[in-house]
């Protein structure tokens, strides 16, 4: 049997540095704030990043809920180092949600330089944000979609 090799096997979606913890999605309180919650902020394909001294981008996991009292949905991405990582897609720039220190960068431009440990979180957060933005209505019945399983499932009510 041939061995698969090539650069396509080392892409952000194949570098799992965190536990997806799918059973967590059905638990009560999975989206609740707490000491064990961290937030990864995205906006229209961009993700919050910082660079280390070598210029390698890393995902920034915020400790405070970045939604500022708005009704932006949270989606659990899994667990890392004993904390729940929640993705939050913020809408277009607004004074309530914009943090002057937040460095949002287009994931497509930095994905190949992203730290391996953060690639899966960043890709999943951007993908879930895009999916929630684009899937507002059921393709079968046209009704609005409501999140289930902490945002990993969208169904008509």
156 versus 21: the higher-pLDDT residue is: 156
Does the domain at 7-155 match CATH 3.30.300.30? Answer given as no
Q: What is the pTM of this model?
A: 0.84
DSSP single-letter state for residue 120? H
pLDDT in tens, 16-60: 667 778 888 888 889 999 999 999 999 999 999 988 899 899 999
Task: Report the C-alpha gap between 142 and 157 in whole angstroms.
Answer: 11
H or E segment to which residue 46 belongs: strand 46-51
Assess contact for 76 and 103: CB atoms under 8 A: no
Assess contact for 21 and 79: CB atoms under 8 A: yes
**How is residue 87 written in tokens?**
């993705």
Task: Report the C-alpha gap between 26 and 99 in whole angstroms.
Answer: 31
pLDDT in tens, 120-130: 899 999 999 99
115 versus 40: the higher-pLDDT residue is: 40
pLDDT in tens, 67-101: 877 778 899 998 888 899 999 998 776 665 566 66
pLDDT for position 68: 78
Q: Mapping DSSP to helix (H, G, I), strand (E, B) and coil, where does residue 51 land?
A: strand
Assess contact for 116 and 52: CB atoms under 8 A: no
Contacts from 97-103 at CB under 8 Å and sequence distance 24+? 97/66, 97/67, 97/68, 97/70, 97/72, 99/66, 102/41, 102/48, 102/60, 102/66, 103/48, 103/49, 103/50, 103/60
């Amino acid at each position: 049997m041939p061995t698969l090799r090539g650069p396509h096997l080392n892409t952000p979606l194949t570098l799992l540095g965190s536990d997806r913890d799918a059973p967590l999605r059905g638990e009560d309180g999975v989206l609740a704030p707490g000491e064990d919650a961290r937030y990864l902020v995205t906006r229209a394909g961009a993700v919050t990043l910082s660079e280390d001294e070598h210029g390698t981008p890393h995902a920034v996991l915020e400790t405070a809920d970045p939604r500022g009292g708005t009704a932006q949905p949270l989606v659990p991405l899994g667990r890392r180092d004993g904390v729940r990582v929640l993705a939050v897609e913020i809408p277009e720039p607004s004074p309530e949600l914009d943090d002057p220190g937040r460095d949002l960068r287009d994931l497509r431009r930095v994905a190949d330089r992203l730290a391996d440990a953060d690639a899966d979180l960043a890709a999943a957060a951007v993908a879930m944000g895009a999916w929630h933005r684009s899937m507002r209505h059921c393709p079968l019945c046209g009704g609005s979609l409501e999140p289930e399983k902490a945002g990993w499932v969208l169904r008509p009510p």
